[in-house]
Chain A
Amino acid sequence: MLDGRGAVGRRASWRLILSASWLVFVLFLALAAPLISPHDPLEQDLFAARLPPFWMHGADPVYLLGTDSLGRDVLSRIIHGSRVALTVALIAGLATGFVGSLLGLLAGYLRGRTDLLISRLVDIWMAFPPVLFAILLIAVLGTGLSSIVIAIVVIDWTRFCRVVRAEAMNQSKMDYIASAVVAGQGRVGILWREIGPNVLPTIVALLTLEMGIAVIVEAILSFVNLSISTDAPTWGGMIAEGRTAVYQAWWVLVFPLVVLFLTVLSFSQLGEGLKDRFDPVLR
């Protein structure tokens, strides 16, 4: 990494390496799902229902992580589930970040009525319980990927808005903003060139956090059967199904849960790691 001192890279921390590796691995799973998954994730085989993972007694090594109550391969379903999870994480995360950051920047920099309006809106929003709000929205919008993305954006933009607004307000008070005004910079120029780059590390950290949250929200919605469609493999859906037979076949619940946990953790740790590494001021 080149920074101002030349090629003096700060060493990448373990958390950055580990979290990035896991996410790259999940990304690979998502992209190559049809090629690498050993079975069709939807194929049922009732004669091979609730087979345990390969190391346990009575396992069929063809089904590495076992099968669920309908005899579908758990591993293949996890691999295919990563597609939904990552799509939602990326699209919903970026969209939420964009909407929230933009409103936050405007509120924090322009202040006055714009700020009043946006801030009151945030206050009102925060009085809604988020998950109920999401379920309500999906009920209105109908299930499907775009509904989930819209629901996440509508619920979570305040997270960006609040933090970015505070940061933009801090930056606006700095002398370099005054200097830019004296030098004849317009409002757009000041937002884009002076404030934007200084808020960016915060936005990136929030963004990765938000991607993790988006994965969770998608899983929650799948859990209550309000996600994509009932038969598409999703991690949340698998957890919901696994819950009903947890004493007979714990693996149907545990494996997707672990993958979900690691993915969400990786997203949040990635944000922290990136912030540590690329923030020029090392706040």
Chain B
Amino acid sequence: MNAFLAIRNLSAILRGGSQRVLRSVDLAVEAGEVRGLVGESGAGKSMIGKAVLGILPSAVSIVEGEILLDGRNLLAMPQKERRRTIGTVAALIPQDPLTALNPSRRIGRQITDRLVDILGWTEANASARALELLDEVQIQNPQRVMASYPHELSGGMRQRVLIAAAFAANPKLIIADEPTTALDVTVQKQILKLIREMQARHGTAMLFVTHDLGVVSKVCQKLSVLYSGKVVEDRAVSEFFAEPRHAYSKALLAATPKYTDPFASLLPVDEAVIASVDAEVKAADREWRHV
């Protein structure tokens, strides 16, 4: 298999605990493909993205497994080399556009940073590139936005800026960590469309973290369903929506609100399903400890 990002058997624990928060995760994103990563709050979706980018909180430590980026194991590299590798080929589209831009630096500088610092571009080239990108993410008057501070832009604008910044260094892989969650619904739709277009144009591989199956069906080709830090289903999106295999996936899909009937009551995930998937996780843990 020729995956650009391959996570193999990745387990992580909280410092001082024995419970795993990531349970032998296997996951692959091929070049140019978008993989959705769905699960409930606290399932470990974002943590996987952070592990790949090397920004896990210090309380989480990885105890086994590999993260292969372009065939090279990030976890086996010395810190400095890992930072550099990640900085050249990977980027992040963060969740909250309100805190993801530095409030006291101008937008332009924040886009060009990586180009100048890591890739050694000249300031002029980097600025030209930033302008081009701001134009590409359909920002009116990119010259002015470059000179603006984040608080002068709306949430949607900021998310566009963040998308531009993520694509700036032509990364091979982008981790999108719930990029539309903090936006209101009408803006969500535009941003989603924009991310899809940019991804298709640049052919970037993407790991799309979300809890919204509707978003997955629009953006992703592959899908991993996470429960309690364990991948319970790994499928092509079209197959998944036609016929989810795992009981939990089925319940999750059934719980998705249907917009065709706004008065239908929301369906929670069945408790029996939760119990069975919990048992499954426990069994995996027992097995893991014996290895």
Contact A184 B148 (CB under 8 A): no
Stretch at the interface among B1-9, B111-119, B127-135, B191-199: B111-119
**Chain B nearest Cβ from A145, distance in angstroms:** 36
One digit per residue, 1 when the CB lies within 8 angstroms of any chain B CB and 0 when it does not, for chain A 173-190 equals 011101111111110010
**Which A residues between 78 and 125 are near B, CB-CB below 8 angstroms?**
111-112
Contact A280 B151 (CB under 8 A): yes
- Residue A194 at the chain B interface, CB threshold 8 Å: yes
- Residue B105 at the chain A interface, CB threshold 8 Å: yes
Contact B114 A183 (CB under 8 A): yes
Give Cα A240 to B53, complex, Å.
Answer: 64
One digit per residue, 1 when the CB lies within 8 angstroms of any chain B CB and 0 when it does not, for chain A 249-283 equals 00000000000000000000000000000001110
Residues in B neighbouring A112, C-beta threshold 8 A: 58
Contact A184 B86 (CB under 8 A): yes
- Residue A4 at the chain B interface, CB threshold 8 Å: yes
Q: A4-B152, A174-B99, A280-B149 are in contact. Are A111 and B58 (CB under 8 A)?
A: yes
**Chain B nearest Cβ from A134, distance in angstroms:** 35
Nearest neighbor of B91 in chain A, beta-carbon distance: A182
Residues in B neighbouring A11, C-beta threshold 8 A: none
Contact B113 A198 (CB under 8 A): no
Contact A175 B100 (CB under 8 A): yes
Contact B86 A182 (CB under 8 A): yes
Contact B149 A175 (CB under 8 A): no
Contact A176 B151 (CB under 8 A): no
**Chain B nearest Cβ from A6, distance in angstroms:** 9
Contact B88 A176 (CB under 8 A): no
Contact A182 B102 (CB under 8 A): no
Across the interface, B104 reaches (CB within 8 A) one of A180, A183, A197, namely A197
Contact B90 A175 (CB under 8 A): no
Contact A182 B54 (CB under 8 A): yes
- Residue A193 at the chain B interface, CB threshold 8 Å: yes
Nearest neighbor of A199 in chain B, beta-carbon distance: B104
Residues in B neighbouring A189, C-beta threshold 8 A: 117
Q: A184-B86, A185-B113 are in contact. Are A280 and B55 (CB under 8 A)?
A: no
Residues in A neighbouring B149, C-beta threshold 8 A: 3-4, 280
- Residue A57 at the chain B interface, CB threshold 8 Å: no
Residues in A neighbouring B113, C-beta threshold 8 A: 180, 183, 185
Across the interface, A176 reaches (CB within 8 A) one of B54, B87, B102, namely B102
Contact B54 A184 (CB under 8 A): no
**Chain A nearest Cβ from B49, distance in angstroms:** 10
Contact B104 A198 (CB under 8 A): yes
Nearest neighbor of A197 in chain B, beta-carbon distance: B104
**Chain B nearest Cβ from A165, distance in angstroms:** 17
Residues in A neighbouring B110, C-beta threshold 8 A: 176
Contact A184 B103 (CB under 8 A): no
Across the interface, B151 reaches (CB within 8 A) one of A184, A198, A281, namely A281
- Residue B24 at the chain A interface, CB threshold 8 Å: no
- Residue B95 at the chain A interface, CB threshold 8 Å: yes
Nearest neighbor of A200 in chain B, beta-carbon distance: B104
Give Cα A280 to B103, complex, Å.
Answer: 7
Q: A183-B113, A184-B118, A185-B113 are in contact. Are A175 and B95 (CB under 8 A)?
A: yes
Q: A185-B117, A193-B105, A281-B104 are in contact. Are A179 and B92 (CB under 8 A)?
A: yes
Interface residues of A (CB under 8 A from B): 3-5, 111-112, 174-176, 178-186, 189, 193-194, 197-198, 200, 280-282
Q: List 30 A-B contacts (CB under 8 A).
A: A3-B149, A4-B149, A4-B152, A5-B148, A111-B58, A112-B58, A175-B99, A176-B99, A178-B50, A178-B53, A180-B113, A181-B55, A182-B53, A182-B91, A183-B87, A184-B84, A184-B86, A184-B87, A184-B114, A184-B118, A185-B113, A193-B105, A194-B105, A197-B104, A198-B103, A198-B104, A280-B104, A280-B151, A281-B151, A282-B151
Closest 3 CB pairs of A and B: A184-B87, A175-B100, A183-B114
